[in-house]
Structure 1
Amino acid sequence: MEQHEYATVPGVGLGSAAGGRGAGAGQLSAAVRADVRACGRLAERLAAADAATADELFAAAFGLYGARHLGGTAGAEAAGVSWWHGPTVRVPGPRRAGRGARRAGRAAGAELVLAAPTGGRGRHRKPEQAPASTPHAVAVERRTAARLLVAHPLVTAAGPHGAGLQLIRRHADWLAERFLAVLGYPLTVGDSFARLHKAGLPGRGLPGFGPAEYAALVRALAEFAAGGAAEVEQPLVRQQLAEWRVLTEQGADPELARALGPLGAPVAQTPALAVRRRLAETPVVLQDELTAPERSWLLGREAGEAALFADFLGLEAEIRAEGLALLDPAGELTDLAAPAEGGTLAQAALLLVERLVEELRPLPEEAAPPAVLIPDALIDGALGDVTDEYGAGWSRDYLADLAGFRRDALELLRRMDLIAPAGRAWVLRAPAARYASPLEVDSGPGPGRHSRREVPIG
């Protein structure tokens, strides 16, 4: 079995890094037995943790989350301008529910650009079948393979993105060197899988998993890695193992279970790695959220980092006064698939954030903070307004549970870095303004705190 091992990092892996080409069967078995015990300790920690801590522990140990980027671009003229006052990326949105809309003259809401569903047809899911023969074609292949790994850090031959495995294997050496140099991420490539080992990020656990499910999943992986036959009772755990192709109708795959073991990327030891990981994985990086060494390192390097990620991952930079966002014009590099067109939650979230920006963004002559506090009553009022105006065709389940509707809409905006928790309150972050109405401020009377008038797009 051909298997490339490009980096050995400290952790509690299930033998993938310990058992490279030169490892004998006895050495590998001993490593697996030791790691099974280590995984047992990890499972105990997960089982005893609260939900948030379990999410963080799992993400740090496994790093199996996808990247998360916004889509759409505001143009080069936005460079260095505050998100609050710069160009926007609005497109036509939902129609109003009826004649009683109180702002009948306004344009429809914006569309929040997320990802195409993961099973769809994306550029990184259509690799070339024949090896590239020109430098340009080689570069395109490498970028396609890198994008696939960033979006899906586990690619299996039998999985939904299996067609890309041939491309990853073709460029395995280059990919391993670049991921390690740029992000400090080890890469493991076997005959039937490729596995990128990411660093932990808050809030990047598995959907629906709690401490008990995480513990059961780790124990099952450890047993399968050792060649055992674990009893997996929780349906959610079985579903995840099947999705990873560790568990099939023919039984468990020990080699893949070992490759999937907890072997997260090492903690970033330099400001460069810390900043680049955030740029590669998160929607927005604000200057005030970086440490002093990280801010100092990034200052003056924005354009260079933008060029690096454009070449490596095909991302486009939006450099604003408050920070930097790497955008994916293809809408693929995000682990949040947009609901179907017209989906209630996506529509409500983008309309809500537009209304919040209208009420809270500073005037052009005012200071432009990275975030502003949202009065709690404003959230309820704005969500009520957009529901009255647009909600005729929305999900009845949501309309019957306004508290749940509010919670889920705010959570979607949080995951896209457009709002952030502040104790029991929320703050509206400057990048949210990219989804609001472009406007000019005039001195005449008009709706809204800014007495603004609409500026037509295009």
Structure 2
Amino acid sequence: MGVIETDAYSEDAALIGERQAAARALMAHPLLTRRAHPAEFSLVRAHAEWLVQRFQRVLAYRLTVADDHARLVKRGAAASTTAPFTRRHGAPFTPRTHTYLALALAVLVERDGDTTLRALAADVRAAAHEARVDADPGRGLGERRAFCAALALLVRLGVLDEVSGTVRDHETDASADPGLRADAQAARAVAVHLPRASDDADSFLADAADHDPDSDHQGEIALRRRLAETAVVYREELPDRQRDRLAAHQWRAAAALGNLLGCDTEIRAEGVALVMPDGAPDGTRFPSDDPVGQVALALVRHVSGRLHPGRPATSVPVPDRDLDAALDTLGGPDAAVRGEWARTAGPEVPDPERLRARVLDLLTDLGLLRGGPGEWRLTAAAARFGADVDDRIPRIQDNDDDGRTLPAKPRGSGDEHGAPEPPADPRGDLSRVTSVLQAVANEKVSATSGDPGDQ
């Protein structure tokens, strides 16, 4: 019988891969419960000591791992990276839904084990009365929907488990009484930064996020947090000190975050992006094979090719009529691809108006488009998906003499009134890129001379 030889390098690679997968799971789901995410929680439990140390060293995040849940406490994350709670169909929570979420948590921190939804509703009604809050889950359809939306979130977080029936049953039928199982420890871990009695909303939020600390060490930590929490960090959108820190420490930050999360880092003139090996943290896949994903990808490629600025730029304007023409060709009523979609046994094929709305929502959520009607802008990150002008889409003429969508002016030319053209880079951010890139070679060599988080 032969002896099975093991490759120590392969074992180490597998170990590192597990740790980094656990770290990515915590970044995507800061509250991980055994009920809601059993596989990810098992990984976190197995590598708890390493994760606790690395999150503290690299991002100054505190990680607590209990028997049935793990909580990553994110302090100081940029407000722009914080996603709001949403209902099942994607609509953000209303103030009423947040009220029921707070009341439900106030009840569940003292309750463990089996209960029913209607019993929980009675306790929430009593808690609201005690707190002098006007809230009653049984007072009409609107109140019941807000209450059920809050409970559905707690089910997704693993605070509640649907034992018999579902929360949605009660949302559609007030007489339905599904069985639930509560986890008091997980409920206590949902809110980690409780306001003090002296706090108002503005001071509480200001204290929770400091985007530009005075200290160099804290400033670099804040920069790493922004890189880890944001799909793309654009240089010209950073405060002056953080932009300088990015130029000086971008490779060290890339090494530290790559060691923790197993991600690649793309450093370009416009900014820096982390590319995760398993896609977006929330599970969103782009490009995707469904009609919305296909049209969104084709639109991004076409607009990137048609409106390429020819120089480093964080974003370029996209006229509404260009979007309308492209969306009509790619997925409108007469688009040839609609027949192909109808023949496949794939996902639902949205009608043209709904398809347009979903494509624009998807690209906005991904940060590839910004703004809104009349103010759309294509961001630099869109270029990584390619630039391929679709010749089927007609060019929109701005005047009788030029058929291009955005006719280019000679550099320094004025408008019809003789006013000088505004500078493309008013703060001089991108003009400093050359000196930054000249320092890259030296920075690469010295990147590991500091503490990339793996010492």
TM-score by length of 2: 0.60
- Rounded Cα–Cα distance in structure 2 between residues aligned with 1:135 and 1:343: 38
Number of the residue aligned with 1:215? 99
In structure 2, what residue type is equivalent to 1:392? G
SS of the residue corresponding to residue 180 of structure 1 reads helix
In structure 1, what residue type is equivalent to 2:67? D
SS of the residue corresponding to residue 334 of structure 1 reads coil
Distance 1:360 1:166, change over 3 A: same
SS of the residue corresponding to residue 362 of structure 1 reads coil
In structure 1, what residue type is equivalent to 2:219? P
Distance 1:327 1:340, change over 3 A: closer
- Rounded Cα–Cα distance in structure 1 between residues aligned with 2:55 and 2:21: 14
Number of the residue aligned with 1:255? 185
Number of the residue aligned with 2:451? none
Distance 1:449 1:189, change over 3 A: same
In structure 2, what residue type is equivalent to 1:361? H
Deviations 1:250-305 (A, max 9, x none): 53221111011242894244332332122112211111111111101110322222
SS of the residue corresponding to residue 387 of structure 2 reads coil
Distance 1:138 1:213, change over 3 A: same
| Counterpart check, 1:409 vs 2:359 | yes
CA contact (8 A) 2:291 2:341 kept: yes
Number of the residue aligned with 1:191? 67
CA contact (8 A) 1:358 1:448 kept: no
- Rounded Cα–Cα distance in structure 1 between residues aligned with 2:337 and 2:404: 19
Q: Does 1 or 2 have the higher relative contact order (CA < 8 Å, sep 6+)?
A: 1
SS of the residue corresponding to residue 83 of structure 2 reads coil
- Rounded Cα–Cα distance in structure 2 between residues aligned with 1:328 and 1:384: 33
Deviations 1:93-144 (A, max 9, x none): xxxxxxxxxxxxxxxxxxxxxxxxxxxxxxxxxxxxxxx9976555344223
| Counterpart check, 1:400 vs 2:351 | yes
- Rounded Cα–Cα distance in structure 1 between residues aligned with 2:283 and 2:14: 30
| Counterpart check, 1:171 vs 2:40 | no
Following superposition of structure 1 onto structure 2, how do residues 28-427 of structure 1 map, counting pairs within 5 Å? 138-159=15-36, 161-198=37-74, 199=77, 201-202=79-80, 204-208=83-87, 209-227=93-111, 230-231=120-121, 233=144, 234-248=147-161, 249=163, 251-263=181-193, 266-268=208-210, 269=213, 270-331=218-279, 333-338=280-285, 342-363=289-310, 367-387=311-331, 388-394=335-341, 400-402=351-353, 404-421=354-371, 424-427=374-377
Q: Compute the RMSD of aligned alpha carbons.
A: 3.2
CA contact (8 A) 2:363 2:369 kept: yes
In structure 2, what residue type is equivalent to 1:243? R
In structure 1, what residue type is equivalent to 2:33? T
TM superposition shift of 1:369: 1.7
TM superposition shift of 1:194: 0.4
TM superposition shift of 1:350: 1.1
In structure 2, what residue type is equivalent to 1:164? E
In structure 2, what residue type is equivalent to 1:263? H
Structure 1: where are the runs of 5+ without partners?
1-131, 440-446, 451-458
CA contact (8 A) 2:78 2:226 kept: no
Distance 1:339 1:210, change over 3 A: farther
- Rounded Cα–Cα distance in structure 2 between residues aligned with 1:317 and 1:339: 18
CA contact (8 A) 2:302 2:387 kept: no
In terms of mean alpha carbon deviation, does 132-141 or 316-325 score higher?
132-141
Distance 1:226 1:438, change over 3 A: same
In structure 1, what residue type is equivalent to 2:152? Q
Distance 1:176 1:382, change over 3 A: same
SS of the residue corresponding to residue 383 of structure 2 reads helix
For these two proteins, the number of residue pairs brought into alignment is 307
- Rounded Cα–Cα distance in structure 1 between residues aligned with 2:19 and 2:404: 49
TM superposition shift of 1:206: 1.9
- Rounded Cα–Cα distance in structure 2 between residues aligned with 1:292 and 1:423: 31
Distance 1:287 1:425, change over 3 A: same
TM-score by length of 1: 0.60
CA contact (8 A) 2:234 2:271 kept: yes
- Rounded Cα–Cα distance in structure 2 between residues aligned with 1:336 and 1:415: 13
- Rounded Cα–Cα distance in structure 1 between residues aligned with 2:338 and 2:302: 15
Number of the residue aligned with 2:423? none
Distance 1:379 1:341, change over 3 A: closer
- Rounded Cα–Cα distance in structure 1 between residues aligned with 2:299 and 2:337: 11
In terms of mean alpha carbon deviation, does 335-344 or 142-151 score higher?
335-344
Q: Tell which structure's C-alpha radius of gyration is larger.
A: 2
SS of the residue corresponding to residue 425 of structure 1 reads coil
- Rounded Cα–Cα distance in structure 2 between residues aligned with 1:341 and 1:349: 9
In structure 1, what residue type is equivalent to 2:193? L
- Rounded Cα–Cα distance in structure 2 between residues aligned with 1:334 and 1:172: 20
- Rounded Cα–Cα distance in structure 2 between residues aligned with 1:343 and 1:190: 39
Distance 1:247 1:182, change over 3 A: same
- Rounded Cα–Cα distance in structure 1 between residues aligned with 2:120 and 2:256: 44
- Rounded Cα–Cα distance in structure 1 between residues aligned with 2:370 and 2:288: 26
- Rounded Cα–Cα distance in structure 2 between residues aligned with 1:411 and 1:307: 33
